[in-house]
Amino acid sequence: MKHREQLRRLPRVIVRKSIARLGPRLEQRSDGLRNTLTRGLTIFCFHEISDTPSEYQRGRKIFSSEATFAAQLVWIAARFQLISPKDLPGLGGDRTLPDAAALITFDDAWAGAFTHGLPILAAQGVPALYFINTAT
């Protein structure tokens, strides 16, 4: 049974790895592509930041390890101008957003988003918005 599941996932793994290799090459060669992909407000949504995610988080792939999250923030900051939630017009912002604005958000308020995510955000000087699910 496990072998069958691995075979079923193989095409996705191959596509994912191919895109991961191809993406940076395309981006380097095409400023137009980069400008198109980064135009407007881009919102990055994270859930859990943990090196030991729960079975639920692993199964749904809704976590980033601490090292991966730190690297993702570096990647985002190199391509976008990170904004604070207070820069959004609906939250009191009174200026035009940059062309390549990005906002980091967290959904559901998992513990690792606070215990691990906040120190990484602070170390890199990145503002973020947390959406808290009070039902949990």
**pTM over the 0.75 mark:** no
Q: pLDDT tens string for the chain (136 positions)?
A: 566 766 666 676 676 666 666 666 656 666 555 555 556 789 999 999 999 999 999 999 999 999 999 999 999 999 999 999 999 887 777 888 888 999 999 998 899 999 999 999 999 999 999 998 877 6
Residues 55-90, buried b or exposed e (16+ Cβ, 10 A)? eebeeeebbbbbeebbebbeebeeebebbebebeee
